[in-house]
């Protein structure tokens, strides 16, 4: 949920820039409130539904292996939500790509987007190709190291 909330805030900022710079409309009034309320409502509903479901349908602690396990449907829902959120952010950033900025924001967003989508692709493939990858020390270290490198790059 934190990843989606952060991406949603970045997406709202990009949407605001799109409203102002491309559509020549003010980013106040209904467009601002509708986008904020819709994003917040989506995340809130998802969080409430996940909290109401029993552990065997979402995340469950497995004592023999001392690890939490994800149910396949829940894993797919979370990854889909992250992918959709990041694709919306990428779409709005693509729409404002030709606006001139004194901070070279276009390059920064492009590099950050490539890094984020690379890590998300790696994580998605890894979680489906090797569902028990946290039990493999080498793969877990590789995944954690790539996550740290991506965080530093962004």
Residues 95 and 134 in one domain: no
pLDDT on residue 101: 67
Please say whether the beta carbons of 147 and 119 come within 8 A: yes
For 62-105, the pLDDT digits (tens) are 888 888 888 888 889 889 988 988 888 888 888 887 777 656 66
Tokens 């409502």, residue located: 41
| Structural domain total, the chain | 2
Residues 37 and 110 in one domain: no
Distance CA 38, CA 134 (A): 35
DSSP string of 23-65, one letter each residue = S---S-SHHHHHHHHHHHHHHHHHHHHHHHS-GGGSEEEETTT
Residues 90 and 109 in one domain: no
pLDDT on residue 138: 92
pLDDT on residue 103: 63
Domain that holds residue 152: 105-154
Encode 52-72: b = buried (16+ Cβ within 10 Å), e = exposed: eeeeeebeeeeeeeeeeeebe
pLDDT on residue 124: 92
Residues 144 and 93 in one domain: no
pLDDT on residue 121: 94
Residues 72 and 119 in one domain: no
pLDDT below 70 — which residues of the chain?
Answer: 1, 4, 31, 101-106
């Amino acid at each position: 949920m934190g990843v989606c909330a952060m991406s949603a805030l970045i997406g709202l900022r990009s949407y605001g820039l799109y409203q102002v710079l491309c559509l020549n409309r003010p980013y106040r009034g209904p467009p601002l409130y509708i986008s904020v309320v819709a994003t917040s409502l989506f995340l809130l509903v998802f969080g409430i539904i996940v909290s109401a479901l029993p552990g065997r349908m979402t995340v469950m602690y497995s004592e023999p292996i001392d690890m939490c396990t994800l149910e396949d449907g829940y894993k797919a829902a979370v990854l889909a939500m992250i992918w959709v959120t990041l694709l919306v952010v990428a779409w709005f950033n693509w729409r404002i790509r030709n606006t001139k900025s004194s901070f070279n924001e276009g390059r920064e967003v492009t590099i950050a987007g490539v890094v984020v989508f690379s890590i998300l692709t790696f994580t998605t493939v890894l979680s489906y190709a090797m569902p028990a990858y946290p039990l493999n020390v080498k793969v877990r270290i590789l995944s954690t190291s790539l996550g740290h490198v991506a965080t530093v790059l962004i």
